[in-house]
A and B are shown apart, each in its own frame.
Chain A
Amino acid sequence: MRRMGRAGRRTRDRLIEGDGAPWLALLVATRLLATAIAAVLLVLDPADDWLLALTPYGALSATAIALAPRLRASPSAWAFDFTTVLAFVAASGDWRSPFYLLWLTTLALPATHLPLGPARWLAVGSAAAYLGVAVGGGPAPGYLRPLTSETLVIHLTLPIVLVAGLAYARSVLLALQEERTRRERLAIETERRRIAWELHDSAKQRLHAAHLLVSSLQRRVAPDLEPTVQRASVELESAAADMDTSLAELRSPLEGRPLHEALGARARELSTDGGPQITVHGLAPPLPPLVAAHVYRIGSEALTNALRHAEATTVEVTLAQTDGTLRLTVTDDGRGMSDHPRPGASGILAMQSRAASIGARLTFDVPSSHTGTRVLVEIPAAAPKGASA
């Protein structure tokens, strides 16, 4: 599950951040083509011989982009590239520059890396920068005939279309990828539930039946067989208990992750733009699945309460282990418990009942900063394993 998640992330990076081989090849080829076009145009126009000396930049930068992944993701490299080629355009003395195509390709990397918002500014900004060069470098728009003005408009529209298109494609790919990950998770969860149900519904019932049958032989067989029956009965009982543990693991909300990871993921799920900032610190030791599931649910309930009722700006989740006791604290800086519904509210009751069923202590108090609420769960190391879910 987790390995798949990581692989999924890698695919996403490759798809979207422009590290995929076909995409990269296309980008480099486009850049080389743009460079070649610039070179041919400059060769055909003997007046600007010295400009030909600038064309190797196109080939060199394409090579650098192909070889250095870090360069591809570096905003300063993008800015350098953009400014350099714009300077070439200015140097060529006409906005209908042989370097225009090369300049367009400098927008590809930032457009595929930036979220939609900043990409919008990039689109408008690049067009404005080009207009600035056009006005400064001449021939100025005012002196142009309508036909050339139209060409200028095209020169200014193209970067906007290019950036918008690439940024949109990126955001769609991202959304698709997220949707796929979500579906995978859902499918796995459904499958786990199905397996849990089947184990419970069939295998476990048969185990119970076998245990009943064998245990009914106790004190009814010849004395020399008694230990065998006794032993078989114990084994069957343990098998049922083992199956309970596996079932608990299968239907656990942790999905095989350690507690701190699951809580971190929950915090990310719950955090919203402009909402309280949620941080998760500390590591949890391996716990029996039932205990971990209960602690997780208490923790997420406390998180939900802090977000819903406390009007907090920060919520801190901490896991710490001392002297064999695991402590989970959820601290917020909101308006505190006094205005909260006191014990009796269903969420708090559910937390208390969960804590009770794993032998943990649950306390609500005011953190040392004197505002907000602190929820503390203390889980003794020897929490009963057979606690019911």
Chain B
Amino acid sequence: MDMEVALDSSTRPQDRSLAPLVAAANGGDRDAFRTLVEPYLGVALGASTLLTGSAADGADAVQEALLSAWQGLPTLREADAFPAWFRKHVVRAASHIRRVRDRHRVMQLDPATAGANDLERVVEGRSLSRAFDRLDEPDRLLLALHHVWGLPVAETADLLGVPAGTVKSRVHYAMQRLRAAYDAEARR
């Protein structure tokens, strides 16, 4: 199974140290900060939209992540670790927003299926959206990290706080649960 969509790998800044940009941003230079984060915004927004379940919440999560990263930049120890560090902010902000939202709703929303161009695909996409929404947070997070960000196992393990050796099997089990939820949706 090889479905990773490493969207940000193609837009990653060239092989040069991020230290000057981080130092400048640390000094309050917003343009430097913007240059730092800009390559990652697209995929961050895509991932957070998945994690929160709506485009509006996803945008909110990225905004929160930008703000917390901006504020927390002095705590970043290794400048070149900025991309992974920023992803952590995005994931935490998205998880947080999802939790807040979940407390205030009973029915799951049915996000529109982007890019669907025929009836069958719309129906499949809707079932998949509902199935994904039925997964618990660790599964949603894991699948989003795996399929959208295409992160290496080590970084995925770090973000999830689990042993690296268990990431692949966790992905497998999460996919199984997604399949079960999808089948259940399809039978409704």
Decide whether A and B are members of one complex. Answer: no
Residues on B lying within 8 angstroms of A by beta carbon are none
Residues on A lying within 8 angstroms of B by beta carbon are none
